Amino acid sequence: MSDALNHDFLAAMPLAALLVDQSERIIAANTEAQTLLGQQIVGRHYATILRQPQVIEAIERSLRDKGASRSRHLANDGAQDTTFEVACRYVNGIGAVAGGAVLVSFTDVTPMEQAGQMRRDFVANVSHELRTPLTAIMGFIETLRGPARNDPAAQDRFLGIMEQEAGRMNRLVGDLLSLNRVESEERIRPRGAVDLTAQIASTLNSLRPLATEAGVELHSTGPETPVNVTGDEDQIRQVLTNLIENAIKYGGRGGEVRVTLSEAERDPAVRGPAARIQVSDKGAGIDPVHLPRLTERFYRADSHRSRQKGGTGLGLAIVKHIVNRHRGRMRVESTLGSGTTFTVILPK
């Protein structure tokens, strides 16, 4: 096969690919390979370009045995580390004196690697979140059977703490099931009609006892007439409940939580008519460094305070997936010492 044919053959491949012949030099490389490894790689010894020992060994093995081999190539695209699956296949009758060459192709498996790491992190986080209350409950059971066996006051106190820890596990399991459900439905467009005016009023009414207990005043502003969007009524209520509950918990005693509903004939975020819900508090605010990661599973800006308040670290992740399902947008604005505002924009 001529050099021109080698080049045309590789250019047609959708993967980064190159040819290494028995002279151990790169005799052809497509545009994708040159983007990955450098522009001036044709004619160079492959070991000076592919410097990772496991990749060099795989190519050496294919050249020697005239067979197939596999390896991994680690790189960086300037924004993140990337991982490529390297496949080596021997091709007869090409290269120097038609002695054969190795076709080396690179498949980007970074998304699969990241998905695997996310799964491992998720399992580790769930295990950690469950282990803490379980350890506490087991410790209190041991105490109740031993030193506190005949101490009614201690028994009452320990049982109260055990109830709190069991409730925490129950909330976590509930949020995990909810997260799984909303993720599985994320690609399915909702078809129902939701009156946001009525939903906000109903949610505020149900959360008023919690606000009273926390010493927080609830206020709402917006149209008195129905504001309808296409959506899932239960999930919209879940979004409102999560955001307003968070505002009550972290708004600080003596503060206020304001829910504002407005409409726009065209909102740039959804490129069309939209309804905008804003939930604001006057609390301590969130450090800007935390804002980009707030909707990650189990991410907490203040882990100790969140656990004290009964948070599972999944609420905002659930909100994000629900908003995505409704083809909406969510934004967070916060100033330390001046409070936080969560904005949900839903297409009408």
Minimum mean pLDDT among 81-85, 141-145, 202-206, 278-282: which range?
141-145
Residue partners of 101: CB distance under 8 A and separation at least 6: 19, 20, 21, 22, 27, 90, 91, 94, 95
Assign 254 a pLDDT band (cuts: 50, 70, 90): confident
Phi, psi of 341 (to 5 degrees): -125, 125
> How far, in Å, CA of 171 to CA of 245, rounded?
14
> Is residue 251 over pLDDT 70?
yes
Output the pLDDT for position 161. Answer: 87
* Locus of tokens 């506490």: 136
Decide if 211 contacts 257 (C-beta within 8 A): yes
For residue range 57-69, what is the model confidence (pLDDT) as tens digits?
999 999 999 999 9
Mean local confidence (pLDDT), 256-262 = 93
Assign 307 a pLDDT band (cuts: 50, 70, 90): low
Tell me the two tokens of residue 151.
């101490």
Task: Select, from the ranges 72-76, 103-107, 131-135, 311-315, the one with the highest average predicted confidence (pLDDT).
Answer: 103-107
Tell me the two tokens of residue 137.
């409950």
For residue range 116-163, what is the model confidence (pLDDT) as tens digits?
887 887 888 788 888 888 888 998 898 888 888 888 888 888 898 898
For residue 109, the 8-state DSSP code is -
Output the pLDDT for position 6. Answer: 66
Assign 20 a pLDDT band (cuts: 50, 70, 90): very high
Decide if 60 contacts 78 (C-beta within 8 A): no
Assign 4 a pLDDT band (cuts: 50, 70, 90): low
Output the pLDDT for position 319. Answer: 93
Using alpha carbons, select from 137, 214, 228, 129 the residue that is nearest to residue 179: 129
Decide if 103 contacts 59 (C-beta within 8 A): no
CA torsion sign for 159, 164, 168, 171 is positive
Give the end-to-end CA distance of the chain in Å, rounded to a whole number: 60
Output the pLDDT for position 208. Answer: 93
Mean local confidence (pLDDT), 326-339 = 89
> How far, in Å, CA of 25 to CA of 85, rounded?
21
Minimum mean pLDDT among 128-142, 185-199, 261-275, 294-308: which range?
294-308
Assign 305 a pLDDT band (cuts: 50, 70, 90): low
For residue 168, the 8-state DSSP code is H
For residue range 150-199, what is the model confidence (pLDDT) as tens digits?
888 888 888 988 988 888 888 888 888 888 888 888 888 898 999 999 99
Higher pLDDT, 55 or 96: 55
Output the pLDDT for position 76. Answer: 85
> Is residue 202 over pLDDT 90?
yes
> How far, in Å, CA of 205 to CA of 218, rounded?
9
Output the pLDDT for position 5. Answer: 62
Mean local confidence (pLDDT), 16-45 = 92
Tell me how crowded residue 297 is: count the other CB atoms within 10 A of its CB.
Answer: 19
Residue partners of 58: CB distance under 8 A and separation at least 6: 69, 70, 71, 86, 88
> How far, in Å, CA of 133 to CA of 172, rounded?
11
> Is residue 255 over pLDDT 70?
yes
Does pTM top 0.85 for this prediction? no
CA torsion sign for 192, 268, 199, 213 is positive
Decide if 179 contacts 321 (C-beta within 8 A): yes
Beta bridge partners of 91: 101
Output the pLDDT for position 44. Answer: 93
Output the pLDDT for position 115. Answer: 82
> Is residue 107 over pLDDT 60?
yes
Tell me how crowded residue 110 is: count the other CB atoms within 10 A of its CB.
Answer: 14
